[in-house]
Structure 1
């Protein structure tokens, strides 16, 4: 019985089936060849732009290749008369299930793609993002690794990074160091400013252009509060910050300035 069925099939539909097999083989060979060309062209276009990380390029090429191959398989099944509507519904349902289960990871991945393309920061930059401040150690597809100033390795999801404000302190050639110095009411503020200017300018790695800003910031009961703001490269920020405070102490000490104290009237009010 089986032999008769097979013989009947071959005698009536054998030639048509053979043509379908040959067509499917030809479609597979040609389709895979075209997919290779498309993926290669996309990879070259991304590499030519020099804005996308090499790791991300390979990842995107793999995803595109898999998706196009899936389309090719569905097309070949259609040659044999297999209805692909059910397969499409199956893949769609699986996609929704995976998307619901991995929504957080997919969101981080999508954010990572945007960060790779837009490049608001790169490895080695000192940034503040998602409430974390430090040096970027790695910009991954799902998370950004930041080393904070106290040497703590912090991993932040890319979705959280791109949804928050990003401050890149390394993007510009220099940044301002903000310090303050208080002098007593009996001290001439202009004299203090005049003494500080050469002292701050002499600090290593302080830029001459723009020159340090040293002005009266505000007045307090103890005396005027001066802003002392030199400019330097990000790599030297903290050293200049500390050296500025040292220079303020040394300058005021050499000038014999008294230590600012709360006026007696204010102390009496506070004590009462």
Structure 2
């Protein structure tokens, strides 16, 4: 009986430390989520601070609290912080080699926040992958495609790729090419397009609409059209003008040709 009591007494501190460790882990995990969420909301609520900074700051706070929590748990089992630092220092090379991709993503995340080639809410193309930026954290960038498919891109890949940001500037140019038949009146067709452009409130007066003959194709005279609008009106203007020009050409007798072949028969001598 005395032996059993002694063995139970020996395991009691270990069990207590294990229970304390579980409690610390739960509290640390809760605090990490709560504080990171609070910081994100507070920063995003301020119109003077970019939403991207709120997301990044929340990510940093979350990982720092989790790191402190892990250190506290190790100390409960007798592993002092100084010893932990010494062990980590001795294993730095091995960890660096094993996690070089992750560390590269971390460094790239810092660079993305510093130089901000894109922000949350902007539509971008990163190395051939397009979508709206939904989140930027320490290690990855989250995009959503126009059909609402989630794409998670490592920051290292994002920073090392060509980035095309379609939302940086407040205005964009919409380009069109309309083909008319060789027998049609070119000036009449240009006038129709110009009138439609002037009538659309989304088209900017400056720079003024640009309409020119850009090519003499195999079956059509091609008219190039360049209109400036607010970035948010780009697609709606493109769709609307395409429809309006087709309808106006039909009403005014301007034909839009399509490739066709002409068969010529020769009589035998």
TM > 0.5 between the two?
yes
Q: Secondary structure at 1:108's aligned position in 2?
A: helix
Q: Is 1:241 paired with 2:238?
A: yes
> CA shift at 1:109, angstroms?
1.2
**Structure 2 CA distance for partners of 1:192 and 1:209, relative to 1, 3 Å:** same
**Structure 2 CA distance for partners of 1:147 and 1:202, relative to 1, 3 Å:** farther
Structure-2 residue corresponding to 1:229: 226
What are structure 1's unaligned runs of at least 5 residues?
A: 1-46, 71-83
Structure-2 residue corresponding to 1:258: 255
**Structure 2 CA distance for partners of 1:147 and 1:88, relative to 1, 3 Å:** closer
Q: Is 1:142 paired with 2:142?
A: no
- Whether contact under 8 Å (1:136, 1:146) holds in the other structure is yes
Structure-1 residue corresponding to 2:77: none
* Inter-partner Cα distance in structure 2 for 1:112 and 1:222: 52
* Inter-partner Cα distance in structure 2 for 1:151 and 1:56: 23
Aligned residues: 203
* Inter-partner Cα distance in structure 2 for 1:119 and 1:239: 28
CA-atom RMSD in angstroms: 3.1
- Residue by residue over 1:174-216, the C-alpha shift from the partner in whole angstroms, topping out at 9 and shown as x without a partner, is 0111221100111122221111111123234222211222211
- Whether contact under 8 Å (1:181, 1:225) holds in the other structure is yes
* Inter-partner Cα distance in structure 1 for 2:63 and 2:153: 26
> CA shift at 1:87, angstroms?
8.6
Determine which of 152, 156, 163 is the counterpart of 1:166: 163
TM (normalized to structure 1)? 0.65
- Residue by residue over 1:205-241, the C-alpha shift from the partner in whole angstroms, topping out at 9 and shown as x without a partner, is 2222112222112110112111122111221111111
Structure-2 residue corresponding to 1:28: none
> CA shift at 1:62, angstroms?
7.6
* Inter-partner Cα distance in structure 2 for 1:88 and 1:134: 42
Structure-1 residue corresponding to 2:197: 200
What are structure 2's unaligned runs of at least 5 residues?
A: 1-42, 72-81, 265-269
Structure-1 residue corresponding to 2:210: 213
* Inter-partner Cα distance in structure 2 for 1:137 and 1:88: 36
- Whether contact under 8 Å (2:190, 2:211) holds in the other structure is yes
Q: Secondary structure at 2:211's aligned position in 1?
A: strand
**Structure 2 CA distance for partners of 1:196 and 1:55, relative to 1, 3 Å:** closer
Q: Secondary structure at 2:91's aligned position in 1?
A: helix
Q: Is 1:185 paired with 2:182?
A: yes
Q: Is 1:122 paired with 2:119?
A: yes
- Residue by residue over 1:42-78, the C-alpha shift from the partner in whole angstroms, topping out at 9 and shown as x without a partner, is xxxxx9x968824544728986xx89xx9xxxxxxxx
- Which of structures 1 and 2 has the bigger CA Rg? 1
